[in-house]
Structure 1
Amino acid sequence: MSEIWPTELRVSSDRKLLSVRFDNESAYDLPAEMLRVMSPSAEVQGHSPEQRKLMHGKKDVEIMKMEPVGNYAVRIVFDDMHDTGIFSWTYLAELGANKQEKWSEYLNELAEKGLSR
Structure 2
Amino acid sequence: MTIQEENQQSFGTEHWPEEIRYVSEDKALVIRFDSGETFTYPAEFLRVESPSAEVQGHGPGQKTTVPGRRHVGIMAVEPVGNYAVRLKFDDLHDTGIFSWQYLHKLGREQDGLWQAYLDSLAAKGLSRDP
State the Cα RMSD in Å.
Answer: 1.2
Alignment of 1:9-48 (within 5 A): 9-14=20-25, 16-48=27-59
The match for 2:72 among 43, 47, 61 is: 61
Task: Give the Cα separation in 2 of the matches to 1:13 and 1:114.
Answer: 30
Q: Which residue of 1 aligns with 2:100?
A: 89
Task: Give the Cα separation in 2 of the matches to 1:16 and 1:91.
Answer: 20
Q: Is residue 118 of structure 2 the alignment partner of residue 77 of structure 1?
A: no
**Structure 1 alignment gaps of length 5 or more:** none
The AA in structure 2 aligned to 1:109 is S
Task: Give the Cα separation in 1 of the matches to 2:72 and 2:96.
Answer: 14
Q: Which residue of 1 aligns with 2:124?
A: 113
Q: Which residue of 2 aligns with 1:6?
A: 17
Q: How many residues align?
A: 117
The AA in structure 2 aligned to 1:30 is Y
Q: CA deviation at 1:49?
A: 2.4
Q: CA deviation at 1:51?
A: 2.5
* Contact 1:15–1:63, Cα closer than 8 Å, also in 2: no
* Contact 1:15–1:62, Cα closer than 8 Å, also in 2: no
Q: CA deviation at 1:52?
A: 1.8
Task: Give the Cα separation in 2 of the matches to 1:86 and 1:110.
Answer: 24
Identical-pair percentage = 56
The AA in structure 2 aligned to 1:93 is H
Point out the structure with max Rg over C-alpha: 2
TM-score, length-scaled by structure 2: 0.86
The AA in structure 2 aligned to 1:53 is T
Q: CA deviation at 1:13?
A: 2.9
For 2:46, what is the secondary structure of its paired residue?
helix
